Structure 1
Amino acid sequence: MPTVHVYMMSGRTSQQKEALISEVTDAVVSSISAPKENVRVIISEVPKSEYGIGGVTGEKLGR
C-alpha cells in the first residue's frame, strides 16, 4: 500500500487539505496504477515558527 507523507506549515483550511489528499491520491493511482483504496496520505503540519526556509522561519517570512 503506497503511503505519501506531506510535511507543510500549518495554516491551510480543511478544504485545502482535502483537495491535497484527493489530488495526491489521484497522482499515485495514475503514476503507479495503485488501487485508489490502498493509497494513504498523511499530512503533518509544522508550526510556522519551526519551519525554516532559506535560514529564516516561516513565521518571520509571513507565510
Structure 2
Amino acid sequence: MPVVEITLIEGRSDEAKERLHAKVAQAIHEAVDAPLESIRIIIREVPGKHFSAGGVAKSKSTAKT
C-alpha cells in the first residue's frame, strides 16, 4: 500500500487539491502498478510564514508558490 505525503503552502482551492489527489494516485498506479484503491495520499497545508526558501518566508516572498 503506497502512502504519499505532500506538503503545500495553504491557499489552493479544494478543486485543485482534488485534481492533485487524482493525478498523483494515477501516477503511482502507472509507475508501480499499485491498485488505485490501495494508494493513500495525505496533503498537509502550512501557512506561508511557516515555510521558507533561501531564508525568506514564503509569506514575505513575491514568488509564486
Scaled to the shorter chain, the TM-score interval is: over 0.9
Secondary structure of 1:60's match? coil
Unaligned runs of 5+ in 1: none
Larger helix proportion, structure 1 or 2?
1
Question: Alpha carbon RMSD of aligned pairs, Å?
Answer: 0.8
**TM-score relative to the length of structure 1:** 0.95
Runs (5+) with no aligned partner, structure 2: none
Report the equivalent of 1:28. 28
In the other structure, the counterpart of 1:50 is 50
What one-letter code is carried by the residue in structure 2 that aligns with 1:36?
L
- Aligned-pair identity (%): 37
**Runs of 4+, deviation exceeding 4 Å:** none
- Report the alpha carbon displacement of residue 53 of structure 1 after superposing the two structures with TM: 1.1
TM-score, structure 2 as length reference: 0.93
Alignment pair present for 1:5 and 2:2? no
